[in-house]
Amino acid sequence: MKVLKIGDALTGLERISDEIRYRSFLEEEGFSIGLIAFRSGGNTDPKQISHRDKDVVCHVLSGRGRLRLADQTIDLEPGILCHVPKGTPHDFAAAQDEELVLFYSLIKTERQGETH
């Protein structure tokens, strides 16, 4: 069993870039979960990423921002849940002067027609 107090975890997020900090909470063979925070600023990386074999599920804990997919932009605020299917190009960004904090899950999924 693991217990994570979100307030404490936010003070210990690992810096990936000027924009992004994160902390993995649990990693298993088929999934991982944790916290990720996006800071607003002029150096926001517009590059989209995709996960070949993992769906992304995020819950907005605090802040405001947006989720940009290949053909749409979704405004984010606390309480919103997002599901990004595997292979979908996406990126997150915080609104100006805010930090966007997400609880995320990366869940390995099978491709159409795959078998074990």
CATH number of the domain residue 65 falls in: 2.60.120.10
**Which of 4 and 61 is assigned the larger pLDDT?**
61
pLDDT score of 4: 81
Question: Is 80 in contact with 32 (CB distance < 8 Å)?
Answer: no
Structural domains in the chain (count): 1
Q: Is residue 73 part of a domain?
A: yes
Q: Is residue 26 part of a domain?
A: yes
Which tens digits make up the pLDDT trace of 34-64? 999 999 875 556 688 888 899 999 999 999 9
pLDDT score of 110: 77
Question: Is 40 in contact with 96 (CB distance < 8 Å)?
Answer: yes
pLDDT score of 111: 59
Q: How far apart are CA 12 and CA 15, in angstroms?
A: 9
Q: How far apart are CA 85 and CA 70, in angstroms?
A: 12
CB-based burial label for 94 (10 Å; 0-12, 13-18, 19+): buried
| Mean pLDDT value across residues 6-22 | 90
pLDDT score of 73: 94
Domain of residue 86: give its range: 22-108
The model's confidence at residue 1, banded by pLDDT at 50, 70 and 90, is confident
Q: Is residue 31 part of a domain?
A: yes
pLDDT score of 116: 44
